[in-house]
Structure 1
């Protein structure tokens, strides 16, 4: 696994952890980033060390958007074509994780649809682009970008039902945390179990609001169910 000097501000997610957060099979996550016997779609940001594979926060966001595309029926071949064009036009190996792709990258979409003839991609970009706008809006509801010229993704809010919970690569190595206190959700959820479900006691012990405890526990229960499934 990459050492600490390589992951400061970048986040680190072993493949099983990333899969749990993304609600995806680990084999699919590994295939999209590392190939796993086929051609990879994305470029891993963190080097594999001692046989241990881990994703960065940027990779996590890329997979999140890739999953949105696949959910709309866009083929992996078309996605690869789109990525190649976007990399050249935007000058980055990770275009799905930069603001510009999601705000003024419509030309990339249109060119890819024309080049591939992918029916689903054509449908997304046809006419006034309403379907494309819906897809992009869905993605941008949960992901924020920094204010630099590069506009790189810097925050993911994984659940609308637990709005306090965020993943921020600059805090706690990108672990899910309560946004206002910085407390990892795993710690609060474990404390709540240890205290027999007494929210008020956990809130007092850890000096956080009761809603931070409740949302952390709900979030951890949700992703644990995903893992079990």
Structure 2
């Protein structure tokens, strides 16, 4: 008989639940829905696929969402798709990882994708890098930057995505609000609902115990038009 998961482990079960529609994932990552769909496709010109296979119309899990976000960041850094596919295939095979871009930390120099060799061989330390997009070549360097939008567990899993950068209060975290976009632990849709009910900014902020700027960030994320409404008493 399998042991029941501990309460602290329940959120991990949600990592694989298809909770995010393609359109939502695209909006969160600031890319088009067509791009998200294309990255999940395989075909004559893209036999490997940029991301994991999924059925047409199927929603994405948290891990798949994070992979979309990470690849979007790679593309903004001008990393070519063939390099991204090569890195994903290499790490998938070497570490038996179904969602490597969500399960491991990567770095990029704008050309290739790298990861700390310590993630594969812990005894090697953090100053040796493996070029995942080139079959695992090794290099000594510390000048390549990490993706700053993501926070990781010690084991490597990306457990928090800062949607608009580290200075923004907007996050997606599977441990908070069942993985819904949130600000200070409160789902952004909750702020939108209060605003659409006619409440003032000051009142919403006071009730939730957050700063006015946090409420505004949540409303802006939810696409709320703030023009023409009083925001304060």
Normalising by structure 1, we get a TM-score of 0.69
Q: Distance in 2 between matches of 1:28 and 1:110?
A: 21
What is aligned with 2:193?
190
> Cα offset for 1:176?
0.5
The structure, 1 or 2, with the larger RCO (C-alpha pairs under 8 Å, 6+ apart) is 1
What is aligned with 1:157?
162
What is aligned with 1:209?
210
1:26 equivalent to 2:26? Answer no
What is aligned with 1:8?
14
What is aligned with 1:80?
85
Q: Distance in 1 between matches of 2:205 and 2:16?
A: 29
Q: Deviations over 1:55-83 (max 9, x none)?
A: 11211221222123223333322222221
Q: Distance in 2 between matches of 1:111 and 1:162?
A: 33
Structure 2 counterpart SS, 1:154: strand
Structure 2 counterpart SS, 1:8: helix
Q: Mapping of 1:36-115 within 5 angstroms?
A: 39=47, 40-44=49-53, 48=55, 52-102=57-107, 103-105=115-117, 106-109=129-132, 111-112=134-135
Over 3 Å counting, the alpha-carbon distance change for 1:161 and 1:191 in structure 2 is: farther
Q: Distance in 2 between matches of 1:112 and 1:129?
A: 20
Task: Pick the structure with more helix per residue.
Answer: 1
Q: Distance in 1 between matches of 2:195 and 2:43?
A: 39
Indicate if the aligned counterparts of 1:165 and 1:176 stay in contact, CA closer than 8 A.
yes
Structure 2 counterpart SS, 1:73: coil
Indicate if the aligned counterparts of 1:164 and 1:178 stay in contact, CA closer than 8 A.
yes
| Aligned pairs, number | 192
Indicate if the aligned counterparts of 1:86 and 1:108 stay in contact, CA closer than 8 A.
no
* Structure 1 gap segments, 5+ residues each: 1-5, 115-124, 223-229
Q: Distance in 2 between matches of 1:74 and 1:207?
A: 41
Over 3 Å counting, the alpha-carbon distance change for 1:203 and 1:41 in structure 2 is: same
The structure with the larger Rg is 2
Q: Deviations over 1:120-148 (max 9, x none)?
A: xxxxx999573xx13x2xx1x2111123x
What is aligned with 1:173?
178
Over 3 Å counting, the alpha-carbon distance change for 1:185 and 1:213 in structure 2 is: same
Over 3 Å counting, the alpha-carbon distance change for 1:68 and 1:160 in structure 2 is: closer
Q: Deviations over 1:181-229 (max 9, x none)?
A: x321122023224326x2112234x43323332221233239xxxxxxx
* Structure 2 gap segments, 5+ residues each: 1-11, 108-114, 118-128, 225-233
